[in-house]
Amino acid sequence: MASVQAKTTISVSGDTVGLRNQTKCVVRRARGASRRVRGVLFALALVIVFDTSAQAGYAEGAQAYRRGDLMAAIKLWRQAAWINDDILSQVRLGRLYRDGECLDTAGQKNSVCIEADPIEAYVWFYFAAASVSRIGLTLEAFDTMRQAKSEGLRERERTFLPMVPTDQSDAHQRIIYIFAKRGPEGLFRLGEIYDERRGREEPVTPEQTESLRQFRQFRELFTRTDVVQLQAQEALPPPSPSLDREINFAASGIQRNNAEALAYYTRAENLGHIVAERLANGLRADLEAQGEAGAAVIASADLRIASWQLPIEFYPAPHSDESVDRADRITALLNVNKLETRLIQHALRALGYYKGAIDNQLGPQTGSAVKLYQGSIGATANGKLTPEQTVRLIQTGAESGNAVTQTTLGTMYYKGIGEPVDYIRARYWFERASEQNNAAALFNLGVMYRDGRGVSVDRDRADIYFRRAREAGHPGH
């Protein structure tokens, strides 16, 4: 592939994979308003009927389940849970991934089974517990939502406790990914979650303090097996919505942090969220009043804003990503055909599906490798990659550590191929590949620092990268 030829171009000599774009969602201004406004809106909501779109998503999934089509049911529930914040679908998914499930599929000889996945179960119980679902609030509907939310709170903590730290981190990343993919409203909700001021809304009673002490004691003293046994014996105190918010957040694995809160509020504000703007200004003013300590928090937030990126490159298989693509990603997907076949071959080889020569030809051996990859992600194995599958392939190859594919992925972010332009992600993947002395990645970093793309112009650093690229065999510059 051609190397950088002009000041603003970057070579496609690696691989690319982009994150799915943020979802289109309704900006609900009331959620970021003052608690007084929340109370008024909540009272008014008691006369609203069920939100038909959320209800329909859950009901359609239930119909598919009754027909024996488990995979279609899961797809519909994930869409409703992810896009519409439908609490009924969230709880249903939490149960399904908590226990695992098999269903006899109509017309099929064998049952279709979903294995238990405690991390994914926790994710959806978390969202049910945090849900501000648009399910309407007739008395019957309110009771249904209340019961679902109570189950979400209870099961969120029960699924969280047995997790080892790596699983907790994995779950945390999935939660942030889903919120961020919801666009400005999701980013605003993350701001609320991290906002330290929200932890001081209610006084902490002695009973709540004792409950929190017990909770922490269990976490510190018992092993994973012990916790499971204690839960089975109901020796752990059941979670309660009335407990102090600190207990809920301790059980969520997400610690409050005003720098994170300000960063998320500001990102939501930049995308047009009006309430986020007010909360960002209010939090910034509070921090400024704290003198040097507050100034340090603001500086940390500003750094996060400048360098923020999704915590994971893509939602982990075999689970589907139900983000709604924005217009800019749809346009970027149209550019996927610019990728050479050899870059696809590099990614397939990195994942162990392709053993042939890198010949830039879509021959039988490459087609067979594509089919193997498609089968691994639950797609129809026809040997022809869709644009979305191509992006996911390169993302996965980059995550595996292949330097060529990492460079390709960085280039895709730089040029808007498959994913919208994102210089932060581009630099991240170029840096990963440069750690393996990939010549194209080193050269591309030189271009970014020379031209100030996603970084401040730094001629000296650019020259260092260009020199290292030449030494690694790059012909450019």
Q: What is the pLDDT of residues 49-75, one digit of tens each?
A: 334 444 568 899 999 998 888 889 999
Record the pTM. 0.71
Structure tokens at 105: 């599929």
Q: Tell me which residue has tokens 């092993």.
A: 223
Could you list the beta-strand ranges (E) of 80-219.
101-104, 111-114
Distance CA 390, CA 35 (A): 46
Is it the case that residue 109 has pLDDT exceeding 60? no
Distance CA 206, CA 208 (A): 5
For the residues 120-142, what does the mean pLDDT come to?
73
pLDDT-wise least confident of 30-39, 138-147, 252-261, 269-278: 30-39
Most confident of 141-150, 191-200, 252-261, 305-314: 305-314
pLDDT category of residue 323 using cuts at 50, 70 and 90: confident
For the residues 346-356, what does the mean pLDDT come to?
95
- pLDDT value of residue 106: 54
- pLDDT value of residue 105: 60
pLDDT-wise least confident of 44-48, 230-234, 363-367, 446-450: 44-48
Is it the case that residue 83 has pLDDT exceeding 60? yes
Residue 90 dihedral angles phi and psi, to the nearest 5°: -65, -45
pLDDT category of residue 442 using cuts at 50, 70 and 90: very high
- pLDDT value of residue 238: 46
Distance CA 122, CA 96 (A): 11
pLDDT category of residue 124 using cuts at 50, 70 and 90: very high
Distance CA 467, CA 443 (A): 8
Between residues 245 and 421, the one the model is more confident about: 421
Identity at 217, one-letter amino acid code:
Q
Cα separations in angstroms, 104 against 67, 69, 114, 146, 421: 9, 8, 12, 32, 44
Q: How far apart are the first and last CA of the chain?
A: 16
pLDDT category of residue 138 using cuts at 50, 70 and 90: low
Q: Which of 123, 150, 125, 254 is nearest to 199 (CA)?
A: 254
Between residues 346 and 203, the one the model is more confident about: 346
Cα separations in angstroms, 418 against 1, 313, 422, 447, 469: 17, 13, 11, 21, 26
* Helix, strand, coil percent values for the chain (each to nearest 5): 60, 0, 35
- pLDDT value of residue 208: 47
For the residues 300-319, what does the mean pLDDT come to?
88
By three-state DSSP, how is residue 113 classified? strand
- pLDDT value of residue 327: 82
Is it the case that residue 29 has pLDDT exceeding 90? no
Give me Rg for the CA atoms of the chain. Answer: 24
- pLDDT value of residue 54: 47
pLDDT category of residue 236 using cuts at 50, 70 and 90: very low
pLDDT-wise least confident of 216-230, 266-280, 285-299, 420-434: 216-230
Structure tokens at 402: 């292949």
Between residues 464 and 377, the one the model is more confident about: 464
- The answer to whether 444 and 15 are in contact (CB under 8 A) is no
pLDDT category of residue 394 using cuts at 50, 70 and 90: very high
Q: Tell me which residue has tokens 């027909």.
A: 67
Domain residue extents for the chain: 29-307, 327-471
- pLDDT value of residue 210: 54
- pLDDT value of residue 163: 86
Is it the case that residue 318 has pLDDT exceeding 70? yes
The fold of the 327-471 domain, in CATH, is: 1.25.40
- pLDDT value of residue 142: 65
Is it the case that residue 221 has pLDDT exceeding 50? no
- pLDDT value of residue 350: 95
Residue 112: half-sphere exposure toward Cβ, Cα within 13 Å: 16
Structure tokens at 21: 């774009």
**Polymer length of the chain:** 477
pLDDT category of residue 401 using cuts at 50, 70 and 90: very high
Distance CA 440, CA 466 (A): 10
Q: Which residues have CB under 8 Å from 218's CB, separation 6+?
A: 161, 227, 230, 236
